[in-house]
Structure 1
Amino acid sequence: MSTRALAHPEAGEIRLEGVLHALADPARLEIVRFLAETGGEVACSAIDLAVSKSTGTHHYRVLREAGVITQVYRGTAKMNALRRDDLDGLFPGLLDSVIEAASRRARARV
């Protein structure tokens, strides 16, 4: 069985400006918030984004290339997970602060 590998930056290659850029978009922030709440691997199709499939693919790629998430193929599904350990080690408290702010905003909209 062959697997399709996706390129991910090594932990030492993750840059703060890239992470902040990736987290600046509301759709990408929603992906990160969803992944943080589930705490494990999630298929792209499990996250309901209000964008087209191709735009969603772009958002996932931006997050992966910035080092915010990992993506691996499991059969035909592309599974996503936060790189929490890497991000917490590089930028302590950043991810928790961003997720908490996004969660407060989401609760205020309801």
Structure 2
Amino acid sequence: MIGFVHPPADAVELHHILSALADPTRLQIVKALHRAREGLNCTAATAPFLQVPKSTLSSHFRVLRESGLICTTKRGVENINVLRWDDIERRFPGLLPNILAFTPD
């Protein structure tokens, strides 16, 4: 079984979040997870990126996890990704709403 690395909420650092969101693909993944609220499996979250190799998408999810933006859990054979909205909002109030409000879909 795969063990996923998630930093504790109090260890999440702003520069890691901003670096992760600087990539357009990762930003669009975060937007998709925000719209889903309940989380998405990797296939649903990356449906708009069918031209991107799976290994590259896996790397994007790893960066998002390690930056503290998402939490990935196993549900059966699926990896379910959830945006850590509440954790980020407590640590950096207003950051995600402002970033997501000013980025195109």
Alignment TM-score > 0.5, same fold? yes
Per the alignment, residue 36 of structure 2 pairs with 38
- CA distance in 2 between partners of 1:69 and 1:6 (Å): 11
- CA distance in 1 between partners of 2:31 and 2:101 (Å): 8
SS of aligned partner of 2:100: helix
The alpha carbon displacement at 1:5 in A equals 3.2
Q: Tell me, which stretches of 5 or more residues in structure 1 are unaligned?
A: none
Q: Tell me, which stretches of 5 or more residues in structure 2 are unaligned?
A: none
Quote the RMSD (CA, aligned, Å).
1.1
Instruction: Tell me which stretches of 4 or more aligned residues in structure 1 moved more than 2 Å.
Output: none
1:1-110 equivalence runs, <5 A? 4-47=2-45, 48=47, 49=49, 50-102=51-103, 105-106=104-105
Amino acid at match of 1:90: R
Identity %: 40
Q: How many residues align?
A: 102
Based on CA coordinates, which of the two structures has the bigger radius of gyration? Answer: 1
